Amino acid sequence: MALTDISKPTDIAMLTDLYELTMAQGLWEQGKQDEQGCFTAFYRDHPFGSAYAVMCGSAELADLVENMRFTDEDIAYLAGLTAPAGGSMFSPAFLEYLRGFTPHVDIDAVPEGELVFPREPLVRVTGSTLECQLLETALLNAIGFQTLVATKTARVVAAAKGRPVAEFGLRRAQGPDGGMAVARASYVAGCASTSNVLAGRKYGIPVSGTHAHSWVMSFDSELEAFRAFAASSPNNCTLLIDTYDVREGVENAITVAREMEARGERLAGIRIDSGDLAKLSAYVRDRFDAEGLPYVKIVVSNDLDEYTIQSLLNQGAPVDSFGVGTKLATCYDQPALGCVYKLSAHRAGSDAPWTPVVKLSEQPYKRTIPGVQRVRRYMDADGSPVCDMIYDEAYLAGEGAARGTELVAVDDPALVTEVSGLAYRELLQPVVRDGAAVAPREPLGEARARCAAALGSLDPVYKRFLYPQSYMVGMELGLSRVRDELVRERMAASSSAIPWKRI
């Protein structure tokens, strides 16, 4: 299930990678538990070849922090862990520290449903470095997969061009937690309903579904099966017509539709789950229309994704709605967003000034952006986003916000853009202060509406499936200079310390 649906909320503290705990012990033993860190979570590459992603999962971060406690059962388990070289992995004194652990971090995050782009912070966590580190794994777990699902869903919904899309992926999802996260994130990004009844109950998502092939096969004839289902569910009757032969199935559906009309009822629709969906849907539409049944809707399923839906509609397939399962629930063709969580600044204590830090790599695109980061989204006169600027909140506070009018593209230092005069808004919003939620949890429908509005305002050049234009994300000019200087300093220090030689 989603992060806060696990069997006990307090299990969140143990939903972590072991090295988070070993690092925490080291920081505690070195007396660094009061040192402060600023961490940012971001992703580096476009998912699914898209120019954007849809933020999702950030609404769960307050629950994550407020429920992060180590129980006596947790402490007993950790006390029993042995190190590879022998002896206890954790000291009794450190475990006693964990027994009374309560995080007091601040979290700012992009609200669910907003569009986000590579390299910009999706979440910013500040506070004790030890506490920030312990949150890393669960935080990435909360936002990474749901953001990926929401992005895939937005593409599928866009391909459907206003036709309803039902999420049918529970049985193919990666376990019950994956199934719940998929239902939640897909609804935020535009799916009309889900087949997942538990998600419907928990999140208030509309649920949909009628019958399977096994229903038809349980009767002596398809017509008998259709009649029985119409009698059982006259107000929720969509007949699956491809168990044997679609052409025969549509004739049986027409018969049942006539019988339902005679009772003052209506057949809602039919579903086709195999075969040439474009050809078969056209045939079925012609038959229903010829019989004076234009109100009967056509639903198709069968391993659909944004590309197959786009192809069907480009062929003129008269489809009214889509059921999308496997390729949505598994985020087919990109199984992970690749979200990372990096230290971007530190300080000796809460009253000390921040020091920006940078991580280097032999792969330049993996170099991080330093500072206590925030993000501004700039819009044109029509309210359409044109670029995002990452800036260092601490730097601008010291140097003056007037320097925040030029930005340097994160992936092209030669590309400099002037943004003075453009309207902007801040993307990162307060979620947690001193370990507690700052506002009531918003209804899921608000995130859904935010997503629809964000996609509606985005220029179509960023939304096309084939070769979308890259959206500009840049660093404020002063931050770019700080980063360049830190990179030069660190590279110089590394090259003087290591006696490189030609191999």
252, amino acid identity:
N
Residue-level pLDDT at 495: 64
DSSP 378-407: EE-TTS-EEEEEEEEHHHHHHH-GGGTTEE
Give every strand in the sheet of 321-324, ordered side by side. 193-194, 165-167, 321-324, 297-300, 269-272, 238-240
How many CB atoms lie under 10 A from the CB of residue 366? 12
Torsion of CA 131, 395, 408, 471, to 10 degrees: 50
- Residue 305 in contact with residue 322, Cβ under 8 Å? no
pLDDT, position 24: 97
Q: Which of 55, 49, 51, 305 is nearest to 159 (CA)?
A: 305
Instruction: Provide the angle, in degrees to the nearest 10, between the axes of the packed helices 246-262 and 277-290.
Output: 30
Tell me how far apart the alpha carbons of residues 467 and 458 are, in angstroms, rounded to a whole number: 16
Dist CA 48 CA 333 (whole Å): 7
Question: Are the C-beta atoms of residues 319 and 163 closer than 8 Å to each other?
Answer: yes
- Give 165's DSSP letter: E
Ramachandran class of 55: left when φ > 0, alpha when ψ lies in -120 to 50, beta otherwise: beta
Instruction: Look at residue 499 in the predicted model and tell me its pLDDT.
Output: 58
* Residue found by looking up tokens 């008998």 in the block: 224
How far, in Å, CA of 213 to CA of 241, rounded?
9
Phi/psi region, residue 421 (left: phi>0; alpha: psi -120 to 50; beta: rest), is left
Give the total residue count for the chain: 503
Q: Per-residue confidence of the chain (503 residues) as pLDDT tens digits?
A: 344 454 456 689 999 999 999 999 999 999 998 899 999 999 999 999 999 999 999 999 999 999 999 999 999 999 999 999 999 999 999 999 999 999 999 999 999 999 999 999 999 999 999 999 999 999 999 999 999 999 999 999 999 999 999 999 999 999 999 999 999 999 999 999 999 999 999 999 999 999 999 999 999 999 999 999 999 999 999 999 999 999 999 999 999 999 999 999 999 999 999 999 999 999 999 999 999 999 999 999 999 999 999 999 999 999 999 999 999 999 999 999 999 999 999 999 888 999 999 999 877 778 999 999 999 999 999 999 999 999 999 866 555 444 578 999 998 989 999 999 999 999 999 999 999 999 899 999 999 999 999 999 999 999 999 999 999 999 999 999 999 999 998 888 776 655 555 44
Q: What is the CATH number of domain 3-150+335-497?
A: 3.20.140.10
d(CA 427, CA 115): 10
d(CA 379, CA 107): 25
351/377 Cα distance (integer angstroms) = 30
Place of tokens 């990179």: 487
Q: Which of 482, 433, 481, 334 is nearest to 109 (CA)?
A: 433
Phi, psi of 373 (to 5 degrees): -85, 145
Domain at 210-292, CATH class: alpha beta
Would you give the distance in Å from CA 115 to the centre of its chain?
A: 10
Spatial distance between the Cα atoms of 170 and 180, rounded to a whole number of angstroms: 8
* E-state strands within 304-356: 321-324, 340-347, 355-356
- CA 159 to CA 310: how far, in whole Å? 5
Residue (of 118, 170, 175) closest to 147 by Cα position: 118
Q: How many CB atoms lie within 10 A of CB 410?
A: 23
Domain with CATH 3.20.140.10 in the chain: 3-150+335-497
